[in-house]
Amino acid sequence: MTLQEYDYARESPSKLAASCLLLALTMKNLGGWTPTLEYYSGYCSQDLHSLVKRLNFLLTYQPRDKLKAVRTKYSHRVFFEVAKVTPMDMLKLEEILKSC
């Protein structure tokens, strides 16, 4: 989804990838940011919190009328229908991130 948003172009690709991973782990209740992830990514959990919230906001309030190609592509079962995953409630996400 960030491919279509100019605001995310200024973010480093590694930080964007790490934030996406943290959001995915949180959304699927697969645990938090482990010391191993911190070591190999170079980012601690707190470094990613603001970007994780922005990413969840992007999923929550995305325009539905234009630029549908990426959403359509990742809605297919070949890509595990990740575009259909329901975003997290912003307050719940904030609560979880505070506990990290």
Q: Domains of the chain by range and CATH?
A: 2-99 (1.10.472.10)
CA distance 56 to 37: 20
**Residue with the two structure tokens 């995310």:** 8
Q: What is the pLDDT of residue 37?
A: 96
Mean pLDDT by 10 residues, the chain (100 residues): 86 96 92 94 96 92 72 88 87 89
Question: What pTM does this model have?
Answer: 0.84
> What's the burial of 28, exposed, middle or buried (CB within 10 Å: 0-12/13-18/19+)?
exposed
